[in-house]
Amino acid sequence: MLFNSLDFAIFLPIIFLLYWFVFSKNKQQQNLTILVASYIFYGFWDWRFLFLIFFSSLVDFFIGKKTFELKEASKRIIYLFIRINVI
């Protein structure tokens, strides 16, 4: 799916409506909507690369959680450096 395709012209308003009007009260559902929409959009391009974006999302999530738990700025910077250079 390309940004200038008819598929995207249909896909974007659906996701927009879901995000702002259906799940407007629940931030967690909004975030999940954007995440799933991103996977669908990426999968339309080439489904074989979905594992890559899924793996990257998991690594980002767990490193983000660990970084949030740390109090020392030097350790946070190390985790950030690891994340930027690993994937």
pTM of the model: 0.73
Give the pLDDT score at 87: 58
Return the C-alpha torsion angle 69, 73, 78, 81, nearest 10.
100
Q: What's the CA gap between 47 and 45, in Å, rounded?
A: 7
Percent of the chain past pLDDT 70, that is, above it, reads 98
pLDDT greater than 70 at residue 38: yes
Closest to 34 measured CA to CA, from 15, 14, 62, 20? 15
pLDDT in tens, 51-63: 989 988 898 889 8
Sign for the pseudo-dihedral over CA of 81, 48, 62, 12: positive
Q: How far apart are CA 79 and CA 66, in angstroms?
A: 8
